[in-house]
Structure 1
């Protein structure tokens, strides 16, 4: 198992987010990454490195295929624009305060900076900081580098160990702590390297709305997600069972929403349904947006999985026998996150016979 980790992840460190009507310290912190690194030091599963140089032009071109060019330009320049408004803004994060809801136009980009933040951001819980773009861009490089290594046969499985996470980021929107969709970029990298069909199996507590939106009209990428019921759980407005894809992608999206309080037995039944869909799709490669906010003690999620369950999850994923890229997503009980993530990786390797 190759671990490609983000050397710039700590440069994104939001101060506050809006949570249940008040500003609170951010749940998505550098400590999450640090706990996984610490657990990997205790229980190594394979070689670790940062992204290899020499692929920057190809990576930028792929970014522009997954994300809208104007959106990427906004992210890259947002902090400088924020400071240009008032130097004192250096002590504050950027959060949207206005959004173009029903009946309002999205096709004209406002000149007002706050209005443009709301044009691209869909919640008030995803702060943009001085280092958000550099951290997100380096994280995207991790995902694409991990996928290249898997596609080249250097390893059978790899983890893009990075933050901020990515699966809520869509073609032209950020939210859910996500700016660039690492899972989508990994899937596209695998496609570009020759995999005819790629499956994305998202096991985060929250639906991967960005990934679904990116691939919903494509037949070459299957998107499957196990997650909290969007009628009660974030991101609320996507992730229902009747969403099957559109156009050429009809039938290539499967959502398996589950109620709050779900334990491992019921969750595992849904996972078997997801795995059957991946097999039926005859995927050549697999991407797993790996969220461990399904753990019973997570502060913002409501499933009841236990740490040992993640060993079984990894084994089930490894049993598919596919070249696999994991991308690190949610998990906000930081002290337990490392154990749960590494349990998935260890379970995968045990099922695959210990091979990298």
Structure 2
């Protein structure tokens, strides 16, 4: 299986995040990518395909903000990484403000996702990795893997959050549509719900979004991912959320994934994008499922058996010492089916 990653993605390295009422070391570290590369045998440098595929998904003003935020933060005399502290309540006036603090709140939904000096570069090349994997699949590869770091599924059209700045799964799916694939499906199997992906395609009937994740009644991101959310307008019925309780094991997760795959088959997708998070592992420091390393090959084999051209983009997974083995196990499930 072809794998893609750009060393420039390692430059994104915020120092800390706000978590559970205090500052702590940033969990989405460059060490995550290093661990995956060591365990999977490395990856190819993606081609630079430019920014058109990014602004096909993300608001152009938001993209400019991601590029400009570090310089604006520094110009305001602030040390370190840019972190928001004020957020507009839903329904408040959408004022055109240019102070960095107002913009940080306007374009973020949490305080766990700083914008550092190299964040734009890292996110840009994360998107290029996703695009490289998408294009080789569109050209005939059965499956390809993009080591996307920073990850993407919490980023919406015009907001960042959850360690995510550009939504790599959405960018891959839209690239598939723009290449002529009539229907694209996204299967999100990260511990946390991909609220940004859901928002982007919420009113669209050409991209089906299915997610297996922790119940948002008890887990981040709380305000999205409940079982009754199924899309609106043209997208009514094109979203499927399958929340699971703490302690979910392979049996429960596999059954929910099977339900998602059956819905994707009924949808008639010509391309599948998998948002894969290994934070479902039993020892992940910020999650509460109970999957074992050996389970990932089983889940991947089930996905591969669906027979769809498949783009795999990396999302979460924060137990760095085990992360490489978990990702390698997942990719091995595709290799076995091949």
Q: Does 1:307 align with 2:293?
A: yes
How do 1:165-244 residues align onto structure 2 when only pairs under 5 Å count?
A: 165-244=151-230
Q: Does the 8 A contact of 1:95 with 1:124 survive in 2?
A: yes
Q: Measure how far apart 1:115 and its partner are.
A: 1.1
Q: Does the 8 A contact of 1:159 with 1:327 survive in 2?
A: yes
Counterpart for residue 21 of structure 1: 21
Please point out which of 110, 113, 129 is paired with 2:116.
129
Counterpart for residue 146 of structure 2: 160
How do 1:55-70 residues align onto structure 2 when only pairs under 5 Å count?
A: 55-56=49-50, 60-70=51-61
Gaps of 5+ in 2: none
Q: Measure how far apart 1:109 and its partner are.
A: 2.6
Structure 1 residues 65-100: Cα deviation after superposition (integer angstroms, max 9, x where no partner): 2011111110011111111122xx3x4111100000
Change (3 A) 1:188 1:103: closer
Counterpart for residue 73 of structure 2: 82
Please point out which of 91, 107, 112 is paired with 1:120.
107
Q: Measure how far apart 1:318 and its partner are.
A: 0.6
Q: Does the 8 A contact of 1:165 with 1:182 survive in 2?
A: yes
Structure 1 residues 233-280: Cα deviation after superposition (integer angstroms, max 9, x where no partner): 000000011111111111100000111111111111111101111111
Counterpart for residue 71 of structure 1: 62
Please point out which of 74, 82, 85 is paired with 1:97.
85
2:7 alignment partner, SS class: coil
Distance in 2 (alpha carbons) for counterparts of 1:126 and 1:149: 31
Please point out which of 38, 49, 56 is paired with 2:44.
49
2:294 alignment partner, SS class: helix
> 192-201 or 177-186, which moves further after superposition?
192-201
Q: Measure how far apart 1:160 and its partner are.
A: 0.9
Please point out which of 88, 92, 96 is paired with 1:109.
96
Structure 1 residues 134-181: Cα deviation after superposition (integer angstroms, max 9, x where no partner): 00011111111210111011x211111121100000000000000000
Q: Measure how far apart 1:49 and its partner are.
A: 1.0
Gaps of 5+ in 1: none
Figure out how many residues of one structure are paired with residues of the other and give that number. Answer: 338
Q: Measure how far apart 1:62 and its partner are.
A: 2.0
Distance in 2 (alpha carbons) for counterparts of 1:220 and 1:103: 29
Counterpart for residue 141 of structure 1: 128
Using structure 2 for the length normalisation, give the TM-score: 0.98
Distance in 2 (alpha carbons) for counterparts of 1:69 and 1:93: 22
Counterpart for residue 2 of structure 1: 2
Q: Does 1:276 align with 2:262?
A: yes
Q: Does the 8 A contact of 1:6 with 1:163 survive in 2?
A: no
Q: Does the 8 A contact of 1:285 with 1:322 survive in 2?
A: yes
1:306 alignment partner, SS class: coil
Structure 1 residue ranges (4+ consecutive) displaced by more than 3 angstroms after TM superposition: none
Counterpart for residue 39 of structure 1: 39
Q: Does the 8 A contact of 1:109 with 1:116 survive in 2?
A: no
Q: Measure how far apart 1:218 and its partner are.
A: 0.7
2:275 alignment partner, SS class: strand
Q: Does the 8 A contact of 2:148 with 2:168 survive in 1?
A: no
What RMSD over aligned residues (CA atoms) do the two structures have, in Å?
1.1
1:66 alignment partner, SS class: coil
Distance in 1 (alpha carbons) for counterparts of 2:264 and 2:330: 18
Counterpart for residue 342 of structure 1: 328
Using structure 1 for the length normalisation, give the TM-score: 0.93
Change (3 A) 1:219 1:103: closer
